[in-house]
Amino acid sequence: MPLIENTIRAGSEFDRKASDFSVLLEMLRDRHGRVLAGGGEKLRARHIERGKIPVRERIDHLVDPLSPFLELSALAAWDQYGNEVPSAGIVTGIGIVTGLPCMIIANDATVKGGSFFHETVKKHLRAQEIAEANKLPCIYLVDCGGAFLPEQDRVFPDRDHFGGTFFQQCRMSAAGLPQISAVFGGCTAGGAYIPALSDEVVMVRGTGRIHLGGPPIVKAAIKEVVDGETLGGAEMHTTVSGVSDYLAESELEAIAKVRDIVGALKWPREVRSPRPVGAPVHDPAEIPGIVGTDLKQPYDVRQVIARIVDGSQFQEFKPAYGSSLVCGFAAIHGEPVGILANNGVLFSESAVKGAHFIELCDQRRTPIVFLQNITGFMVGTEAERGGIAKHSAKLVYAVSNARVPRYTVIIGGSYGAGNYGMCGRGFQPRFLFAWPNARIATMSAEVAANVVTDLRRGSLTRGTADEEEIGRVDRETRAQFEAQSTPYYATSRLWDDGIIEPDQTRDVLGFCLSLASQEIELPGNRPVYRM
């Protein structure tokens, strides 16, 4: 495969861009660091005093030593609820357990007792969706107070609310995906259903509890006064009710038991000889200096591709046509991929070239990676007369119907229908990550301010335009779009699977691609009912 030639020259412009980007990286690392503290020092100390292990350390004990753990949406709920719900109170991610990639879904009991906020439900559902799409066994580390009651209207009743997670558990069971729970703390109501709908359950003596209604609910409902241990303790559930299958004397014993259960799954993965992997010839650490933070400043996206793909080798498709969309074949960590990457606004030619390329990938069973940095499709009389609406629709059709796994990384702007044509969240890529310089919105703040003030000026019901009011609308629209288009606003609301650093892109994509390439046929349609 041809090598992408390095056209990046060291110098003041490169240094300035790298330095601007480093500010974004520092902010990202600081925020990631802050959410690791969970519910804060005091609650963490209480948690440990009770003999409980902090949530991310539980995961460390669960996964194979020195294996990767891909944490998802660590900044969910960021800057919401006064920042008191770090990571939305739940840690999700893919880890290797006894050699097998598994989805791990773990409540953080130091965050409001592990209860579910709107974003907690969304994150839990998303993790299940990823497990289902990539055929991963699912391990639940349960420590969960059910729905966060003050937010119950945003958590309980709707289709994709708490009930959806249990619906999903049942469907995943029927699809043949193993689901295993370890219960570490008080699990009430919804929290109780997670283990109750699992194939196998381990409970920790003394701290693990499962009850549909906790002691206060029991007292209120039937005036029975009972302590939590009698009502739903681990010993009772393992020896009397049968809600639990194994009793563990400590959390570490419970985690070891989960590893044994996973080890005994006889879960086949496709064994294949390793493909040759060559690191990129050009250094991934140079990406920030190529990209910078000014979305208006163009650069050649091939230089980014060269720092993501094996050996910096890229077989470009139709290089002399529709050049604002770069398409081509490469490999990432030995996994063959087709890449579509924006190199300017999308014209009709670029859109149909993209559609054609996606068809090629689909026929050749090659997964597709989208590198999104797009202001949108071309507008204007010439573009409309040239049929941009129908040509862009072809790209959207091809993206929607491709049968191969698709992966999206937002490496810059993600605006308007460009988001659709380049496989935005609505088009259900298997994973979607963003870089810290990303912006996602219908349009940029500047364009939005122009559109909205124009609409206000032209509004018949408002009479003559009042320039003072127009000025206010302009400022408000700008502020709204600026605030709502940051990657933190997006990741907080689970519009992506997390913000990653540019030089991690290759490893993250490689890990995700390897899950798909090892996929097996599931045994299929018989759920496991707990008896």
Q: Nearest distance from residue 195's CB to ligand COA, in Å? A: 14
Q: Quick one: which segment of 139-147, 248-256, 294-302, 513-521 binds ligand COA (CB under 6 A)? A: 139-147
Q: Which is nearer to ligand COA, 120 or 350 (CB)?
A: 120
Q: Which is nearer to ligand COA, 31 or 52 (CB)?
A: 52
Per CB under 6 A, 284 contacts ligand COA: no
Q: Quick one: which segment of 145-153, 254-262, 334-342, 403-411 binds ligand COA (CB under 6 A)? A: 145-153
Alpha helices in 239-371 (DSSP H): 251-263, 287-291, 302-305, 348-363
Per CB under 6 A, 232 contacts ligand COA: no
How far is Cα 446 from Cα 477, in angstroms, rounded to an integer? Answer: 9
**What is the DSSP secondary structure assignment for residue 6, as one 8-state letter?**
P
Per CB under 6 A, 193 contacts ligand COA: no
Helix axes of 445-458 and 467-484: crossing angle, nearest 10 degrees: 150
Answer for which of 38, 113, 178, 195 binds ligand COA (CB under 6 A) is 113
How far is Cα 435 from Cα 432, in angstroms, rounded to an integer? Answer: 10
Count CB atoms within 10 A of the CB of residue 9: 7
Q: Nearest distance from residue 396's CB to ligand COA, in Å? A: 41
74 Cβ contact list (under 8 Å, min separation 6): 32, 35, 87, 91, 498
Residue 169 corresponds to which tokens in the numbers above?
């558990």
Torsion of CA 460, 465, 469, 474, to 10 degrees: 80
Q: Quick one: which segment of 9-17, 186-194, 268-276, 377-385 binds ligand COA (CB under 6 A)? A: 186-194
Cβ(105)–Cβ(87) below 8 Å: no
Cβ(341)–Cβ(306) below 8 Å: no
Answer for which of 107, 188, 303, 505 binds ligand COA (CB under 6 A) is 188
Q: Where are the beta strands (DSSP E) in 333-392?
A: 335-342, 368-374
Return the HEC string of 27-91.
HHHHHHHHHCCCCCHHHHHHHHHCCCCCHHHHHHHHCCCCCCEEEECCCCCCCCHHHCCHHHHEE
Beta bridge partners of 377: 346
Q: Which is nearer to ligand COA, 109 or 308 (CB)?
A: 109
Per CB under 6 A, 145 contacts ligand COA: yes
Per CB under 6 A, 280 contacts ligand COA: no
Per CB under 6 A, 89 contacts ligand COA: no
Per CB under 6 A, 214 contacts ligand COA: yes
Per CB under 6 A, 78 contacts ligand COA: no
Per CB under 6 A, 137 contacts ligand COA: no
Nearest to 127 by CA among 111, 139, 113, 116: 139
Q: Nearest distance from residue 261's CB to ligand COA, in Å? A: 25
Q: Nearest distance from residue 228's CB to ligand COA, in Å? A: 8
Task: Label residues 38-50 b or e (16+ Cβ within 10 Å = b).
Answer: bbeeebbeebeee
Q: Nearest distance from residue 380's CB to ligand COA, in Å? A: 53
Q: Which is nearer to ligand COA, 109 or 243 (CB)?
A: 109
Per CB under 6 A, 182 contacts ligand COA: no
Q: Nearest distance from residue 173's CB to ligand COA, in Å? A: 23
Per CB under 6 A, 85 contacts ligand COA: no
Per CB under 6 A, 285 contacts ligand COA: no
Nearest to 62 by CA among 116, 140, 132, 126: 140
Return the HEC string of 151-207.
HHHHCCCCCCCHHHHHHHHHHHHHCCCCEEEEECCEEECHHHHHHHCCCEEEEECCC
- Give the CA count within 13 Å in the CB-facing half-sphere of 290: 23
Per CB under 6 A, 109 contacts ligand COA: yes
Per CB under 6 A, 121 contacts ligand COA: no
Per CB under 6 A, 112 contacts ligand COA: yes
Q: Is 16 helix (H, G, I), strand (E, B) or coil?
A: helix
Task: Tell me the residue length of the chain.
Answer: 531
Q: Quick one: which segment of 56-64, 184-192, 431-439, 452-460 binds ligand COA (CB under 6 A)? A: 184-192
Answer for which of 146, 208, 232, 338 binds ligand COA (CB under 6 A) is 146
How far is Cα 132 from Cα 167, in angstroms, rounded to an integer? Answer: 13
Answer for which of 186, 280, 311, 338 binds ligand COA (CB under 6 A) is 186
Residues 147-166 that bind ligand COA (CB under 6 A): 147-149
Q: Which is nearer to ligand COA, 186 or 338 (CB)?
A: 186
Q: Which is nearer to ligand COA, 148 or 511 (CB)?
A: 148
Per CB under 6 A, 115 contacts ligand COA: yes
Q: Nearest distance from residue 222's CB to ligand COA, in Å? A: 15
**What is the DSSP secondary structure assignment for residue 286, as one 8-state letter?**
G
Q: Which is nearer to ligand COA, 137 or 146 (CB)?
A: 146
Residue 390 corresponds to which tokens in the numbers above?
């129908």
Q: Which is nearer to ligand COA, 148 or 420 (CB)?
A: 148
Q: Quick one: which segment of 105-113, 121-129, 414-422, 523-531 binds ligand COA (CB under 6 A)? A: 105-113
Per CB under 6 A, 86 contacts ligand COA: no
**What is the DSSP secondary structure assignment for residue 237, as one 8-state letter?**
I
| List of residues contacting ligand COA (CB under 6 A) | 109, 112-113, 115, 145-149, 186, 188-189, 214, 217
